[in-house]
């Protein structure tokens, strides 16, 4: 190592030599040693074999740093100076300790400084996951891999990223899983059979033709009846016409039936009719009954681009038929249609039936697509040899029977003179062979069926039935079913009294006829969305369309509304996943419910399913379920029933796997077609080589490696597996190879060298996306354009704007601000009722969203300290008491003038980290401010400092309790800086809510309430009277904050600790950003455009 330091010197000089600070103790402190130490530790009297009279004051080697560390530890632990010896006064001792602690921090940093050396990085867990996603379009859970980072370093720092044999095996296994799932999602049938039929091609010409015939018939009928009328009008015929008319009064057509009796009236045959009956049917009746619908159909512009499904009249379009070509082999095919429901028709008519010609409908599907946004529906069909190949689509119930169809048509026709309004419109129909291509399924479940069966069954059987049996037992003494003894009988009577009314209330509520409530503690606490093969409950089986579903992206939907009187804070629903049992719940997301039971809303969320991920998703009211019992008992005591429900669900639905074009994770198949007539083996090699090149981020893996991979393929192929399967081994091995796992930047020279374009693209994309470079970046690198400053700056902006940069935001912010602490303890939700997991999740999200918004909107870094806006969703707005904000998306909200929110300091997540889940911790908060905002990190807590004796059986206010920190110099050296800042935040409770007083209760001792006193003074600095002044003073020193931010960016982006050689770089980043009002993106651009970022 010393060698490297020397040889690096030429480069150092080029940067700015002399930046390396010296860990040196000021000579003035020699007096302290002389006064209190040297008497025992000198040349003659070396107690503990230690001399302090000649100890060097420069800590430039491990040996001297260790020696001073020992001295510090001895003084900290109170062992030195010994009790009987002369003692320094408290301030002098604290000052000496502070100086020595700080010097040692500097010494450790100086000696441990890597001199700009970047240790080669392996993909960390996040990057590995994202890289698989970009490469293969699969999103795997990678919890199997060990967590990265440690010893305080970012998870991008190469020297802290290790490899072990276990881990290597996990890479192999995960790589294999990724390849398997990719194959499932992207494998394509080797030959494609497909027909595409535009619906209007069938229906519109047909109706046009029929309508023309109608017009023709009607014209001829008019001509004929006009001629008959002319004959009837002759005076000589008046008597006979009057006689005919008298036979059927009011029937204008009767005379035409009796045309033969009117002399001179022409025969209908002359007008092309068979007879008068035919003429009336064709020329008049059809004109009234059939033609208006045809006319309306053809007049509708959508009949030019698709077809409507009509009722009854076969001369319109009551069913849309289509055929599977006769030359297609028997087998499974998929029918896919693009369909819409019209806006002016009732929902009950938005169902389409599909089935074989001359058969009953095979399936019925709800149509939710609109004319503006039609939807795709897919149904599987199986063609058997010699079986039917014709199929139809029609509106549900449009042909349950001829009579019924006529009845419905007639009712509408009487009403509007046309017929039923058009409800369904088909754009096109496709049929294709579906081997290997996952079909998309969609299933909706009306939840009341299961819910009522379960709630009703439990009530009838266990509670009501049990109560009756128990009463019978108590009356007769005879054992009853399920009631073996008096103890059980009494218990059942009791629980019936406790819970019976809550069940009754549920079952008697009219809304449980059409949906299900979500309750608290018992009755019906949750609703589930289950994908095959899972069932909603053991009470009632549903028939799933398929037995199991393949991995992929799925859409979950549910229609939900809040009960009229539900309070604001109860209008949130949580969606979680369930692996097993009926208790397991892993929170995925919370949603604000803005719909009501009258006007419910539909919420949808996409989930990514892997082979072994849960298939059951649970909906429940957002709350801490640990409090259920208490809530229920309280309500039951007060009202006789459990708490009223706040949420009601109409139906639940799932759909998927979503097709690539619908899915967020877009990718193409690794299996490329053999377009050049290669042999099978050469084709395999081509696939392997292409994938390796992509996986290695455009670096050529070399022939010897490919040979070995092809050998793996050969071995499997010889063993008799298919072409595709044989490829899986070599492809997964690529994902465990160093070329994939490591970001190598070779440099044998002892001096730094510029990165090449490809290396720069890779470094940049893992910096800003935690993912491999995309095609645009790689193309720029290949063309040699990436290093042009203008191009590079533009790329930085493009990358930050991309949603992929959310990975940077999360990865960086989480580590920079130490958000891990938020999960270090469970919140005491008895004390902080509404700080449940969902709120905590939203609070954490606020940190990311705020950072991302500020970054992308070119805002100033200073807004992280103080801002007159917040970025919140409905849940958090409600928590902060901001009115009029609802919905689950985070958005910018202007704050009232006197709000303590805005910026990190007022965020619930940050404040909650400065607590233990129940009470505030001014120490944690003060230390956090020193570390993150003021960039004056206190040295690590020293070991072996004697614990102070606390006064037991007394309730002390927080300030009184922490006063002990100032008593001993060992504590005071740091706490005199930390604690006053922490007190300034005392107006926020442990969960970040505003308060003006604090109450503490100690069992057996009593209760104490004291007003919050936030006033304080920075150590050797200015005073503040409250939080607002404290915040203003922190915001007035943006340079320090900018400095900490810059150092963190350098470490995260470079993948190595911030070193002393980086001083000029940090200064330059800040200078450039300052010129742009501390714009956050400017720091990043300055870093990326620096020489440091572009060299290794």
Partner 1 sequence: MSRPELSRRHFLRAAGTLIALPALTSMGFKAFAAEKAVTQPKRMVFLGFGYGVTNETWFPKVTDTGASYALPEGLAPLAEHKKDFTVVQGLSNKFSDEAHWGSTFWLTGANRYSEPGQSFHNGISADQVAAAKLGMDTRYGSIRLDCANAVDSGHGPGSMAWDARGKPMAGHENPVAAYHRLFSDETMPLAQRQALLAQQRSVLDAVLEDAARVRRGLSRSDVDKLDEYFQSVRDIELRLSKDEQWLDRPKARAPFPEPKPGLAGKDEIKVMYDLIVAALQTDSTRVLTYRQPVSALLASLNIKVASHDMSHYSPGERMEAAQKRDLEQSRLLAGLFTKLKATKEADGSSLFDHTTVAYGSNIRTIHYLDNCPTLIAGGGSGIRLGQHVVLQGKSTPLCNLWLTLLQGSGANVASHGDSNGIIKELKA
In the 8-state DSSP scheme, what is residue 1081?
H
- 882 binding partner 1? (CB under 8 A): no
Q: In angstroms, rounded to a whole number, what is the distance separating the alpha carbons of residues 140 and 665?
A: 12
Interacting stretch for partner 1, rule CB under 8 A, among 569-577, 769-777, 858-866, 934-942? 934-942
Helix (H) / strand (E) containing 1075: helix 1063-1075
The nearest distance, CB 160 to partner 1, in angstroms, is 7
Q: Is 1 in the site for partner 1 (CB under 8 A)?
A: yes
Q: Is 952 in the site for partner 1 (CB under 8 A)?
A: yes
Rg (CA), the chain: 40
Contacts with partner 1 in 100-119 (CB under 8 A)?
108-109, 111-115, 117, 119
Judged by beta carbon, residue 942 or residue 1053, the one nearer partner 1 is 942
Q: How far is CA 768 from CA 194, 531, 796, 1042, in A?
A: 43, 36, 8, 19
Restricting to residues 3-62, name those near partner 1 by CB under 8 A. 4-5, 61-62
Instruction: Please count the residues of this chain forming the interface with partner 1, following the rule CB under 8 A.
Output: 86
CA dist., res. 918 & res. 829, Å (int):
8
Residues 75-104 within binding reach of partner 1 (CB under 8 A): 77
Binding mask 215-234 for partner 1 (x = CB under 8 A): --------------------
How many CA atoms lie less than 13 Å away from 711 in the CB half-sphere? 6
φ, ψ at 870 (rounded to 5°): -125, 160
Q: Quick one: angle between helices 757-768 and 789-801, nearest 10?
A: 30
Strands (E), 471-614: 516-518, 526-530, 552-562, 572-578, 586-592, 601-609
Between residues 167 and 1033, which has the closer beta carbon with respect to partner 1?
167
Q: Which of 296, 320, 315 is nearest to 200 (CA)?
A: 320
Q: Is 918 in the site for partner 1 (CB under 8 A)?
A: yes
Identity of the residue, 947 or 997, whose beta carbon is nearer to partner 1 in the bound complex: 947
Does residue 533 have a cis peptide bond before it, meaning omega lies within 30 degrees of 0?
A: yes
CB of 1 to partner 1, least distance (A): 4
**Interface with partner 1, residue 689, by CB under 8 A:** no
Q: Does 146 participate in binding partner 1 (rule CB under 8 A)? A: yes
Calpha distance 973→93 (Å, rounded): 8
Q: In the set 709, 726, 786, 1049, which binds partner 1 (CB under 8 A)?
A: 709
Q: Which residue has the tokens 């028997």?
A: 330
What residues numbered 161-180 form the site for partner 1, per CB under 8 A?
A: 162-169, 172
Residue with tokens 């490469």: 135
Tell me if 738 contacts partner 1 by CB under 8 A.
yes
Is 436 a binder of partner 1 (CB under 8 A)? no
What distance in Å separates the CA atoms of residue 4 and residue 551, rounded to the nearest whole number? Answer: 51
Q: Given candidates 498, 737, 957, 1033, which one binds partner 1 under the rule CB under 8 A?
A: 737
Which C-beta is closer to partner 1: that of 51 or that of 753?
Answer: 753
CB 904 within 8 A of CB 818: no
Cis peptide before 456 (omega within 30 of 0): no
Q: Find the binding residues for partner 1 in span 555-594 (CB under 8 A).
A: 579-580, 584
> Please, which residues bridge with residue 1001 across strands?
1007
State the nearest-atom distance from the C-beta of 334 to partner 1, in Å: 37
Report, in Å, the least distance between residue 156 CB and partner 1: 14
Choice from 438, 561, 701, 982 touching partner 1 (CB under 8 A)? 701
Q: Which is nearer to partner 1, 601 or 756 (CB)?
A: 756
How far, in Å, are 124, 131, 670, 1021 from residue 694 at the CA level? Answer: 19, 11, 10, 56
- What are the helix and strand counts (H, E) for the chain? 35, 26
- Structure tokens that stand for 488 in this block: 């059980």
Q: Which of residues 1056-1075 bind partner 1 (CB under 8 A)?
A: 1057
Q: Which is nearer to partner 1, 567 or 943 (CB)?
A: 943
Residue 803 structure tokens:
């949603």
Least Cβ distance, residue 944 to partner 1 (angstroms):
5
Give the separation between CA 1096 and CA 1092, rounded to whole angstroms: 8
Binding to partner 1 by residue 941, rule CB under 8 A?
A: yes
Q: Which of residues 457-516 bind partner 1 (CB under 8 A)?
A: none
- 587 vs 885 by CB, closer to partner 1: 587
CB of 89 to partner 1, least distance (A): 24
CA distance 95 to 973: 6
Pairing type for strands 1006-1011 and 997-1002 reads antiparallel
Query: With respect to partner 1, which residue has the nearer C-beta, 110 or 886?
Result: 110
Task: Say whether residue 994 binds partner 1 (CB under 8 A).
Answer: no
Q: Which CB, 117 or 852, lies closer to partner 1?
A: 117
Residue at token pair 């930390």: 978
Find the helix or strand (DSSP H, E) in which 392 lies. Answer: strand 390-395
Residues in region 122-141 near partner 1 by CB under 8 A: 122
Q: Is 613 in the site for partner 1 (CB under 8 A)?
A: no
Residues 717-736, interacting with partner 1 (CB under 8 A): 719, 729-730, 733, 736
Residues within window 54-73 making contact with partner 1, judged by CB under 8 A: 61-62, 65-66, 69, 73
C-beta of 101: minimal distance to partner 1 in Å? 11
Please give the residues from 805 up to 834 whose contact with partner 1 meets the rule CB under 8 A.
Answer: 824-826, 828
Work out whether 711 is an interface residue with partner 1 (CB under 8 A).
yes
Task: Give yes or no for a cis peptide into 81 (omega within 30° of 0).
Answer: yes
């Amino acid at each position: 190592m010393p060698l490297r330091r020397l040889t690096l010197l030429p480069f150092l000089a080029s940067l700015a030599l002399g930046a390396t600070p010296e860990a040196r103790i000021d000579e003035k402190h020699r007096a302290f040693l002389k006064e209190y130490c040297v008497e025992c530790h000198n040349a003659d009297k070396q107690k503990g074999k230690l001399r302090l009279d000649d100890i060097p004051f420069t800590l430039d080697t491990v040996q001297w740093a260790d020696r001073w560390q020992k001295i510090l530890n001895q003084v900290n632990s109170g062992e030195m100076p010994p009790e009987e010896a002369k003692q320094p006064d408290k301030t002098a001792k604290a000052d000496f300790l502070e100086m020595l602690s700080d010097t040692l921090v500097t010494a450790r940093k100086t000696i441990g400084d890597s001199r700009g050396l970047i240790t080669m990085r392996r993909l960390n867990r996040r990057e590995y996951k994202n890289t698989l996603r970009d490469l293969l379009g699969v999103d795997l859970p990678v919890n199997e891999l060990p967590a990265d980072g440690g010893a305080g370093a970012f998870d991008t720092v190469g020297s802290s990223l290790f490899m072990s044999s276990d881990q290597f095996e996990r890479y192999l296994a995960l790589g294999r899983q990724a390849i398997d799932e990719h194959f499932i999602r992207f494998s394509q049938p080797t030959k494609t059979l497909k027909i595409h039929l535009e619906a209007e091609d069938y229906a519109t010409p047909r109706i046009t033709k029929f309508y023309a015939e109608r017009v023709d018939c009607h014209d001829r009928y008019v001509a004929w009846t006009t001629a008959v009328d002319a004959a009837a009008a002759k005076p000589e015929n008046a008597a006979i016409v009057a006689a005919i008319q008298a036979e059927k009064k009011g029937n204008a057509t009767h005379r035409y039936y009796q045309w033969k009796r009117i002399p001179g009236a022409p025969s209908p045959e002359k007008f092309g009719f068979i007879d008068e009956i035919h003429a009336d049917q064709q020329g008049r009746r059809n004109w009234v009954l059939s033609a208006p619908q045809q006319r309306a159909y053809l007049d509708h512009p959508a009949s030019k681009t698709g077809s409507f499904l009509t009722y009854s009249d076969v001369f319109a379009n009551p069913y849309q038929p289509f055929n599977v070509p006769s030359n297609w082999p028997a087998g499974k095919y998929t029918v896919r249609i693009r369909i819409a429901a019209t806006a002016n028709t009732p929902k009950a008519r938005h169902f389409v039936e599909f089935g074989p010609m001359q058969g009953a409908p095979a399936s019925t599907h709800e149509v939710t697509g609109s004319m503006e946004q039609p939807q795709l529906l897919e149904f599987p069909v199986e063609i058997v040899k010699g079986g039917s190949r014709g199929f139809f689509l029609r509106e549900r119930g449009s042909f349950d029977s001829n009579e019924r169809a006529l009845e419905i048509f007639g009712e509408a026709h009487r009403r509007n003179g046309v017929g039923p309004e058009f409800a369904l419109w088909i754009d096109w129909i496709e049929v294709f062979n579906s081997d290997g291509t996952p079909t998309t399924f969609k299933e909706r479940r009306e939840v009341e069926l299961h819910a009522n069966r379960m709630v009703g069954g439990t009530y009838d059987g266990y509670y009501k039935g049990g109560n009756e049996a128990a009463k019978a037992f108590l009356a007769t003494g005879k054992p009853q079913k399920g009631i073996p003894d008096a103890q059980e009988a009494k218990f059942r009577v009791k629980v019936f009294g406790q819970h019976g009314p809550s069940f009754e209330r549920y079952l008697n509520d009219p809304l449980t006829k059409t949906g299900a409530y979500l309750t608290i503690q018992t009755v019906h606490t949750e609703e589930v969305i289950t994908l095959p093969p899972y069932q909603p409950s053991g009470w009632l089986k549903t028939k799933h369309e398929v037995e199991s579903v393949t991995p992929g992206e799925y859409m979950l939907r549910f229609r939900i509304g809040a009960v009229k009187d539900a309070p604001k804070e109860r209008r949130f629903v949580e969606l979680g996943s369930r692996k097993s049992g009926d208790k397991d719940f892993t929170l995925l997301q919370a949603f604000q419910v803005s719909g009501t039971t009258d006007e419910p809303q539909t919420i949808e969320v996409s989930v990514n399913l892997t082979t072994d991920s849960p298939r059951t998703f649970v909906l429940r009211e957002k709350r801490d379920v640990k409090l259920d019992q208490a809530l229920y008992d309280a309500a039951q005591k007060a009202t006789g029933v459990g708490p009223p429900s706040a949420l009601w669900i109409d139906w639940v639905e799932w759909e998927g796997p979503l097709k690539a074009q619908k899915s967020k994770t877009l990718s193409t198949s690794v299996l490329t077609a053999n377009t050049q007539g290669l042999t099978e083996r050469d084709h395999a090699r081509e696939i392997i080589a292409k994938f390796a090149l992509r996986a290695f981020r455009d670096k050529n893996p070399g022939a010897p490696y490919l040979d070995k991979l092809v050998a793996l393929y050969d071995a499997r192929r010889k063993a008799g597996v298919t072409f595709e399967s044989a490829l899986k081994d070599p492809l997964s091995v690529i994902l465990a190879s160093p070329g994939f796992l490591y970001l190598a930047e070779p440099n044998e020279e002892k001096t730094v060298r510029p990165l090449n374009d490809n290396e720069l693209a890779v470094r940049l994309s893992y910096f800003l996306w935690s993912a491999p470079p995309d095609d645009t970046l790689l193309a720029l690198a290949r063309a040699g354009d990436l290093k042009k400053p203008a191009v590079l700056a533009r790329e930085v902006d493009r990358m930050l704007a991309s949603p992929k940069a959310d990975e940077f935001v999360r990865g960086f912010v989480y580590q920079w601000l130490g958000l891990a602490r938020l999960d270090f303890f469970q919140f005491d939700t008895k004390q902080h009722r509404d700080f449940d997991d969902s709120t905590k999740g939203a609070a954490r999200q606020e940190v990311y969203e705020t950072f991302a918004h500020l970054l992308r909107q070119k805002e100033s870094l200073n807004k992280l300290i103080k801002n007159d806006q917040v970025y919140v969703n409905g849940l958090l707005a409600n928590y902060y008491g901001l009115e009029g904000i609802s919905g689950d998306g985070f958005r910018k909200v202007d704050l009232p003038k006197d709000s303590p929110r805005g910026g990190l300091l007022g965020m619930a997540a940050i404040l909650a980290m400065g607590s233990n889940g129940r009470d505030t911790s001014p120490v944690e908060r003060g230390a956090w401010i020193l570390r993150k905002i003021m960039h004056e990190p206190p040295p690590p807590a020293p070991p072996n400092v004697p614990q102070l004796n606390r006064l037991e059986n007394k309730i002390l206010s927080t300030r009184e309790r922490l006063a002990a920190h100032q008593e001993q110099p060992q504590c005071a050296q740091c706490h005199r800086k930390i604690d006053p800042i922490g007190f300034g935040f005392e107006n926020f409770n442990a969960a970040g809510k505003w308060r003006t007083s604090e109450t503490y209760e100690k069992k057996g001792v009593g209760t104490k309430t004291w007003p919050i006193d936030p006033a304080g003074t920075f150590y050797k600095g200015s005073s503040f009277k409250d939080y607002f002044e404290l915040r203003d003073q922190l915001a007035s020193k943006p340079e320090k904050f900018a400095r900490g931010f810059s150092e963190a960016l350098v470490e995260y982006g470079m993948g190595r600790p911030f070193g002393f050689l980086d001083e000029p770089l940090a200064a330059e980043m800040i200078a450039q950003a300052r010129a742009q009002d501390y714009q956050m993106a400017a720091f990043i651009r300055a870093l990326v455009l620096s020489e440091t970022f572009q060299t290794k």
